[in-house]
Structure 1
Amino acid sequence: MGGGGDVRAGGGKRRGLPLRYLSQSESLSFSRPPQAGCFVRRTDGKEAFPMAELDTDVRAIRGIGEQRAKALAKLGVGTLRELISYFPRDYDDRSASRPIALLEDGETACVEAMVAAPPTLARARRGLELVKLRAVDASGALDVTFFNQTWLKSSLTAGETYIFYGRAERSGNRRRMVNPVVEPAGRGEQTGRIVPVYPLTAGVSQLILSRSVRQGLDACRSILPDPLPDDVRQEHHLCRIGFAYENIHFPASAEALELARRRLAFEELFLFTLGLRRLRSRRDTARTDPFRPVDMERFYQALPFSLTAAQRRCVDEALADMRSGRPMNRLCQGDVGSGKTMVAAACIYFCVKNGRQAALMAPTEILAQQHYEGLSALLEGLGVRCALLTGSLRARARRDVLERLALGQTDLVIGTHALISGGVEYERLGLVVTDEQHRFGVGQRAALAAKGSHPHTLVMSATPIPRTLALILYGDLDVSVIDQLPPGRQKIDTVAVSGGYRPRLYAFLHKQVEEGGQCYIVCPQVSESEDAPDERKAVTEYAETLRREVFPDLRIAFVHGKMKPKEKEAVMSAFAAGETDILVSTTVIEVGVDVPNASVMVVENAERFGLSQLHQLRGRVGRGTRKSYCILVSDSKNDETRQRLRVMTQTGDGFRIAEEDLRLRGPGDFFGLRQHGLPGLRIADLGCDAALLKEAQSAADALLARDPALSTCPATAARVEELFQQKADTLN
């Protein structure tokens, strides 16, 4: 088998490794002695100890000092448990070697060869030193060059055999490798096996992380508690936890890796299901005074349009919840422009007519202001007293709002996080609405709900989510879907172009502005590091280039996530007021104020965004009467990238786009579970593990049916509690 293949733990495409399930009669050994030099040291620097507790500080590992510990902390690794639970994102199959003569140009492979002569050191220029050598096997010779790795001159010995792993280059009969991984033949640390590939950060290399995990496993693998009850593990033919952890990090074979991955994915889905089922069970037992029926015709007749059948269905589902005598906990999910706010307005009207107060929380002040202007104009004519509460309110105005709220003289308050700040009291809070749910964690939603006594909760999301993923993200919620758009909602023409079209693109933007329109240009965030200035630099430099070289006669502004909230609000308000022609931004405008005059959305480097995010960005335009366009700019030659962008040009259906996004990218890139206060999925891949999810859910339901409190499975109960400890409310 040739080198260079890979196998992914996420359950996606696997190349180079034929995977199969073992029969029950087969067995795989995972026991192995610790590698030389691999042990855990005591934090006091004295003698090494062979075992450790799972919560032992990661600095107890040999080779991890203060600086490396800080780097690992950025990866969420601070203890031995977190270290051994930091799973690889990918794998390189380096288990087989190729003869030198059979290496193809561009092939990544392992070569076992002898160093023919002492390596030489040459200085190409200042700051660039080259170590060169020739390695040979029975089939031919390989020229090897290392850049700025001068220590290899004395480390690699003539006459000794080494394994070289890298990308081969072929010119005629000559083969060469540049900067390959190299280690003595037989060591088996970086070659000769399936090698894990971990997500990294500055200061931590693959080798350092792999060696650290090796030590961590040797120290505490035997004391890992197994959260899967034995009967569940056996019934579903799953390996033991020690085998799983060993082979997810250091797979003995492709089969062992698949067994480990399947067990850990099942465990993840099983525990997640248990936690969500217990949340729902506890919610189902909560009781509140049922709302009485209300004649909703007055509300419907006050609307300047008729609700769609989908909107009416969602309203009916929510009102049935509020009449049921148990707290509503419902998600209203709909595409951009589907009319979720009117569903919320109906629920607010119903709540107020039952003598209770309602609160609507939006992620930004400008969006809260927009909601206030729209809803107050509608609801105050129906006798609903509205107020706006944001952080920028002056002290006197804030005191007035708080006083009227506490006395019950305000029926609906709309605001930002200010709604959950100290000092905010409600006389009789009956309904909590959160807009753009993915911008709020579960803790924030719970904090607002805690302002009342079991108030009803309605969360709204404009991000269409595939049903499979919604079962995970919103497993503790009932879900209503608005699956049709109001009549008259215009189609946004979407095209994908290369950077070569930029001159024509700029001419098109200029024409749109001349005709009275406004345009967005979105730049991707270059770095995922919160401390990096790349996001700010990319946006400000691009905006300055446009202002100076491309559109000197137009009004150009920029906005990015590093700006202070008030600065962002000011820029967005100016754009909404028509004081800016072109707004250059990061995805900070993904959720923002409606600008009906905005007619063009340009997304630079569109390949860096998920389809669902591109769909959200596209939804920023087409909100008025102007014909609107979305232009995706990408120079990527990758077939999968082109396929993804082609989907955007073919459909405006957010749910179809979401399904395609999940299929192509997996859930990890789709949506941040941690935003919801729910544990993330590190191994399970909902794109490939749908059958495993059903199996895990069935097992969880069976366990809860016979033991709702999990009293016979203390390790399971403890792990579920630990995973869901981010939630503001407990599972008990």
Structure 2
Amino acid sequence: MAELSTNVRYIKGIGETRAKALEKLGITTLRDLISYFPRTYEDRTLTRPIRDLTEGENVCVRAMIAADPTAHRIPGGRPIVRTRAVDETGTLDVVFFNQEYRKNSLHRGEIYIFYGKVEGQRRHQMVNPLLEPEGRQHLTGRIMPIYSLTAGISQLMLTQAVRQGLDACRELLPDVLPDEVRREHRLCYINYAYENVHFPDSPEALTQARRRLAFEELFLLTCGLRLLRSRREDVFGPVCRKVSMDLFYNALPFTLTDAQRRAVEDTIGDMTAGRPMNRLCQGDVGSGKTMVAAACIWFAAQSGWQSALMAPTEILARQHFETLSPLMARLGLTCALLTGSTRSKERRETLAGLAGGTIDLCIGTHALLTGDVQYGRLGLVVTDEQHRFGVNQRAALSQKAEAPHMLVLSATPIPRTLALVIYGDLDVSVIDQLPPGRQKVDTFALGESYRPRVNAFLRKQVQEGHQVFIVCPLVGDGDTLPDERKAVTAYAKKLQEETFPDLRVSVLHGKMKPKEKEKVMETFAAGESDILVSTTVVEVGVDVPNATCMVVENAERFGLSQLHQLRGRVGRGQAKSYCILLSEHPSEETRRRLKVMTRTNNGFEISQEDLHLRGPGDFFGQRQHGLPTLKIADLACDMQLLEEAQSAARALLCRDEDLSRPEHRPLLERVRELFHDTADSMN
């Protein structure tokens, strides 16, 4: 009998050739095969008499071949086979292209079930229908799975392979959900679930099957994350003594919001608890997450611990350095910057200071992960996440010390329930309040016809002493979009020469060298450039209070959360600010999406809408590396199921905190399989 880990080539009916084709879809084992779920379904249960057929509908017809098939070739050499089928109510013409064998395989007087799209209003026709002899139906008269395919694999081939896979493992599937959980949540058995998610007996059976498998997926994920957390709590973290925060608060030129103070209290509670902090601090653009990090850095230093702050881009790392360095100096702490472009001499001095413990805070990029960076007393690691670092990268930085405190900052606010899925084993603090004086940015979604008015508005903004961002989605002249201005370099040139010859236009994109980017940003921040044409490199970490207008070209190409991040680059000063979202030929869907941006400035609301509109595949395209991927659960639709699964997992782990009971052994083994990269942490 096959095991679930058996290579699919050994499954009866698949063999070496099909196995190689399946490998392109990531299917190598029997478990992979049965867990390759349909992307949609086709309901082939609807059967109509010929008289009642309606043009355009997909339907089954039971009919008899009434004429011997005829074959001929059409211009170009393609073979075409025609025949006629009848039932008690009428006649159906049946046409096959490129299927010459049908001439000899169909015989007058035989009854078939035809499935296809009806063409013609008076004289009905089906072109290239599926057909099966009556009484030997496998592909008609039922709900059929439709799978995502790749070259060399057809729907029929994959459907047959899944059927063979299910037949091979009928007795192998362990029901890892405890009986009490399955009963309490009214979930079907595992064999029934796999059978009916692929070959449903009815729409109701499909709903039950999908609910069971999605629940199990979310339940296993939650169990794994909570086991990781419980193991973390068994480790001793850097000991921080409780001290008053008054000295830190008094050094600030402003007062923290209540939400910021709550987040600071959360982190201090973690850092004085004797275990390593592992916390996500999430808040909207401009909510003040950096100051929460600064409070943690100062607090760690009071107990002699060093801190490292890792940013996703050099621009953001430098901005953090420019923001935090003066504050740390006022507080008596030393601060250093370490990036890929740090000069050799400066780098050697910084490395020596870190190893010797004379530098309290090091701010940098991925350069902080290199092997020669060693710390004397690293106690706190801060990562400015922006969905750009995964679990494994954070772990690489934390390995620079023994179980340091970890703080993750994110400006893509999402519901707390989802944060547990996206960010794994992190506790969550939410900054749901903006500092006083933060400007609301007026947002407009406009079509191409508004461009002259937009250009006039931009000129007026510059004449009033302000600056403008314009963001394009692509770089270079090899742009596949129809208009060259969508390429940032070509657009900037055209803008300078034709639209604003009297204004100063600069360009920023990700292919520039760090020093070039830095120079462009310094020039713009100093007011020596009026308009900055950029790619999304400005999404993160560009702070120019004098910039009052953000224009986004081809706004339909961006997710709502990304547009919200771009909008956050303006509204940082005292002047009224604007965001203009341009689309050439906006579809109804585009208009609906962009209307969300014009309606609200609330990042939490926008993220939730983004998740619903784009689906989890796009929204979590940069999901945390190191966590299992979701194969059937849909976070856009399964929020209630996620909450149920999380509640059930918490309740079970309260009764059996390490799943050590014999009846939970299959569950623990499955969790370890899913979390194979971090399974050692569960032992």
What TM-score comes out, normalization by structure 1 length?
A: 0.81
Say which SS state the counterpart of residue 224 (structure 1) adopts.
coil
- Work out whether residues 264 and 683 of structure 1, in 8 Å CA contact, stay in contact via their aligned partners in 2: yes
Q: Distance in 2 between matches of 1:77 and 1:292?
A: 52
- Deviation for aligned residue 1:669: 3.9
User: Hey, what does 1:218 align to over in structure 2?
Assistant: 167
- Deviation for aligned residue 1:214: 1.6
User: Hey, what does 1:497 align to over in structure 2?
Assistant: 446
Matched, 1:602 2:548: no
Matched, 1:106 2:56: yes
- Work out whether residues 333 and 480 of structure 1, in 8 Å CA contact, stay in contact via their aligned partners in 2: yes
**Cα deviation per residue 1:299-357 (whole Å; 9 max; x = unaligned)?**
32332322222112211221222122222111111011111111111111111122110
Distance 1:705 1:641, change over 3 A: same
Say which SS state the counterpart of residue 552 (structure 2) adopts.
strand
Q: Distance in 1 between matches of 2:451 and 2:127?
A: 37
Q: Which moved more, 1:676-685 or 1:421-430?
A: 676-685
Matched, 1:54 2:4: yes
Q: Which moved more, 1:354-363 or 1:665-674?
A: 665-674
Distance 1:709 1:361, change over 3 A: same
- Work out whether residues 193 and 210 of structure 2, in 8 Å CA contact, stay in contact via their aligned partners in 1: yes
- Work out whether residues 222 and 649 of structure 2, in 8 Å CA contact, stay in contact via their aligned partners in 1: yes
Residue identity opposite 1:602 in structure 2? V
Q: Distance in 1 between matches of 2:282 and 2:215?
A: 28
Q: Distance in 2 between matches of 1:507 and 1:185?
A: 70
User: Hey, what does 1:15 align to over in structure 2?
Assistant: none
Residue identity opposite 1:463 in structure 2? T
User: Hey, what does 2:34 align to over in structure 1?
Assistant: 84
- Deviation for aligned residue 1:209: 2.2
Q: Which moved more, 1:387-396 or 1:646-655?
A: 387-396
Distance 1:514 1:66, change over 3 A: farther
Aligned match for 2:227, one of 272, 278, 282: 278
**1:656-667 maps to which residues of 2 (within 5 A)?**
656-667=605-616
Aligned match for 1:487, one of 429, 432, 436: 436
Q: Distance in 2 between matches of 1:636 and 1:181?
A: 38
User: Hey, what does 1:574 align to over in structure 2?
Assistant: 520
Q: Distance in 1 between matches of 2:448 and 2:123?
A: 38
**Cα deviation per residue 1:358-400 (whole Å; 9 max; x = unaligned)?**
0001112222122112211321232211111122333333222
Q: Distance in 2 between matches of 1:323 and 1:404?
A: 26
- Deviation for aligned residue 1:121: 4.3
User: Hey, what does 2:403 align to over in structure 1?
Assistant: 454
Aligned match for 1:298, one of 247, 250, 256: 247
Q: Distance in 2 between matches of 1:603 and 1:708?
A: 52
User: Hey, what does 1:355 align to over in structure 2?
Assistant: 304
Q: Distance in 2 between matches of 1:145 and 1:302?
A: 82
Q: Which moved more, 1:228-237 or 1:271-280?
A: 228-237
Residue identity opposite 2:26 in structure 1? G
Residue identity opposite 2:49 in structure 1? P
Aligned match for 1:375, one of 314, 320, 324: 324
Q: Distance in 1 between matches of 2:324 and 2:270?
A: 22
- Work out whether residues 365 and 390 of structure 1, in 8 Å CA contact, stay in contact via their aligned partners in 2: yes
- Work out whether residues 228 and 682 of structure 2, in 8 Å CA contact, stay in contact via their aligned partners in 1: yes
User: Hey, what does 2:630 align to over in structure 1?
Assistant: 681
Residue identity opposite 1:629 in structure 2? C
**1:598-637 maps to which residues of 2 (within 5 A)?**
599-604=549-554, 606=556, 609-624=558-573, 625=575, 627-633=577-583, 635=585, 637=587
Distance 1:539 1:368, change over 3 A: farther
User: Hey, what does 1:714 align to over in structure 2?
Assistant: 665
Residue identity opposite 2:3 in structure 1? E
- Deviation for aligned residue 1:646: 2.3
User: Hey, what does 2:678 align to over in structure 1?
Assistant: 727
Q: Which moved more, 1:616-625 or 1:441-450?
A: 616-625
Name stretches of at least 5 consecutive residues in structure 1 with no aligned partner. Answer: 1-50, 526-532
User: Hey, what does 2:391 align to over in structure 1?
Assistant: 442
Residue identity opposite 1:260 in structure 2? A
Distance 1:416 1:635, change over 3 A: same
- Work out whether residues 121 and 153 of structure 1, in 8 Å CA contact, stay in contact via their aligned partners in 2: no
Distance 1:574 1:537, change over 3 A: farther
Q: Distance in 2 between matches of 1:623 and 1:133?
A: 72
Residue identity opposite 1:716 in structure 2? L
Q: Distance in 2 between matches of 1:649 and 1:67?
A: 53
Q: Which moved more, 1:502-511 or 1:106-115?
A: 502-511
Distance 1:62 1:364, change over 3 A: farther
- Deviation for aligned residue 1:194: 0.9
Matched, 1:332 2:281: yes
- Work out whether residues 398 and 404 of structure 2, in 8 Å CA contact, stay in contact via their aligned partners in 1: yes
User: Hey, what does 1:36 align to over in structure 2?
Assistant: none
Q: Distance in 1 between matches of 2:494 and 2:102?
A: 51
- Work out whether residues 524 and 605 of structure 1, in 8 Å CA contact, stay in contact via their aligned partners in 2: no
User: Hey, what does 1:44 align to over in structure 2?
Assistant: none
Residue identity opposite 1:725 in structure 2? H
Q: Distance in 1 between matches of 2:420 and 2:12?
A: 42
Residue identity opposite 1:730 in structure 2? S
Distance 1:210 1:325, change over 3 A: same
- Deviation for aligned residue 1:184: 5.0
Q: Which moved more, 1:301-310 or 1:338-347?
A: 301-310
Matched, 1:700 2:646: no
- Work out whether residues 389 and 416 of structure 1, in 8 Å CA contact, stay in contact via their aligned partners in 2: yes
Residue identity opposite 2:468 in structure 1? Q
- Work out whether residues 47 and 62 of structure 2, in 8 Å CA contact, stay in contact via their aligned partners in 1: yes
User: Hey, what does 1:416 align to over in structure 2?
Assistant: 365
User: Hey, what does 1:19 align to over in structure 2?
Assistant: none
- Deviation for aligned residue 1:290: 3.4
**1:6-405 maps to which residues of 2 (within 5 A)?**
51-60=1-10, 72-114=22-64, 116-124=67-75, 134-143=84-93, 149-151=98-100, 154=103, 157=106, 159=108, 160-171=110-121, 173-177=122-126, 180-181=129-130, 187-405=136-354
Q: Distance in 1 between matches of 2:91 and 2:586?
A: 36
- Work out whether residues 110 and 191 of structure 1, in 8 Å CA contact, stay in contact via their aligned partners in 2: yes
Residue identity opposite 1:681 in structure 2? L
Q: Which moved more, 1:548-557 or 1:698-707?
A: 548-557
Say which SS state the counterpart of residue 696 (structure 1) adopts.
helix
**Cα deviation per residue 1:160-212 (whole Å; 9 max; x = unaligned)?**
555444444444x2344555555555554433211112233344333332222
Q: Which moved more, 1:327-336 or 1:204-213?
A: 204-213
Aligned match for 1:477, one of 423, 426, 433: 426
Say which SS state the counterpart of residue 429 (structure 2) adopts.
strand
- Work out whether residues 119 and 153 of structure 1, in 8 Å CA contact, stay in contact via their aligned partners in 2: no
- Work out whether residues 555 and 581 of structure 2, in 8 Å CA contact, stay in contact via their aligned partners in 1: no
- Work out whether residues 673 and 679 of structure 2, in 8 Å CA contact, stay in contact via their aligned partners in 1: no
**Cα deviation per residue 1:621-660 (whole Å; 9 max; x = unaligned)?**
434546221315274554x654443222111111122233
Q: Distance in 2 between matches of 1:507 and 1:208?
A: 59
**Cα deviation per residue 1:40-81 (whole Å; 9 max; x = unaligned)?**
xxxxxxxxxxx4232223344578688865664454322221
Distance 1:118 1:483, change over 3 A: same
What TM-score comes out, normalization by structure 2 length?
A: 0.86
Q: Distance in 2 between matches of 1:536 and 1:696?
A: 45
- Deviation for aligned residue 1:474: 4.0
User: Hey, what does 1:4 align to over in structure 2?
Assistant: none
Say which SS state the counterpart of residue 438 (structure 1) adopts.
coil
Residue identity opposite 2:263 in structure 1? C
- Deviation for aligned residue 1:261: 1.4
